[in-house]
Structure 1
């Protein structure tokens, strides 16, 4: 089970996409629970959580910059 930690955020790819949005790729990490999202410090427009084991969509702080959240192939109820 992988947890969202500062180390995970530091080692995952972060880039500016084709439409000039800052994005972090957290694909395929087998993340079961969304937690500690405050450590992103609202730096990203796009967070990609595709191909994880997320079952419930909660624990998000208020993000003013975030516009897109990718959650494909999760088990969200």
Structure 2
């Protein structure tokens, strides 16, 4: 159990940020799909932008964190 806590604390801040941004983007994508399935057609522009930008941005931040961590070792 202690190893799990140490692993969680040792994640680089950029990786945690990337995971958070990606999760926020996926949540926005799910909201867009649910609202579209409910019959709403004129969704707010900001919601579509968050869904379209946050998800790939989170992936890019996570990838950068992986590369940085690999170069450290």
Q: Give me the TM-score of the superposition, normalised by structure 2.
A: 0.21
Answer 1 or 2: higher relative contact order, Cα 8 Å, separation at least 6.
2
Q: Choose between structure 1 and 2: higher strand proportion.
A: 1
Q: Choose between structure 1 and 2: higher helix proportion.
A: 2
Larger radius of gyration: 2
Q: Give me the TM-score of the superposition, normalised by structure 1.
A: 0.20
